[in-house]
Amino acid sequence: MPDALSHTTLRECVERVMERYFSHLEGESVSNLYGMVLAEVEAPLLEVVMRNVGGNQTRAAELLGLNRGTLRKKLKQYDLM
């Protein structure tokens, strides 16, 4: 039996999760939503990329389209190095 997410795009997953997030707010105010979402997505993205390139920061930076200095800054920000 195929995984239910196997035919779901990243965009669809994000949309579904954001709709669920807003439906559970129950009137609570939110600020810095962009930063919160970016951090929730960026950290696991960096983790998976680093794992798949065997820790090679140069290769990871190329894969991500970042310069190596920016990658190192982000890895430190998320305590991934």
Determine, yes or no, domain membership for 64.
yes
Residue 5 domain flag: no
DSSP 14-76: HHHHHHHHHHT-TT-----HHHHHHHHHHHHHHHHHHHHTTT-HHHHHHHHT--HHHHHHHHH
Inside any domain, residue 39: yes
Q: Tell me the residue range of the domain where 44 lies.
A: 10-78
Residue 1, domain member (yes or no): no
| pLDDT tens-digit series, residues 5-63 | 677 899 999 999 999 999 999 888 989 999 999 999 999 999 999 999 999 999 999 99
* pLDDT of res. 5: 61
In a domain, 4, yes or no: no
- Residue 26, pLDDT score: 85
Read off the pLDDT of residues 26-37 as tens digits, 9 standing for 90 and up.
888 989 999 999
- pTM score of the predicted model: 0.77
Q: What is the CATH number of the domain that holds 62?
A: 1.10.10.60
Count of the separate structural domains present in the chain: 1
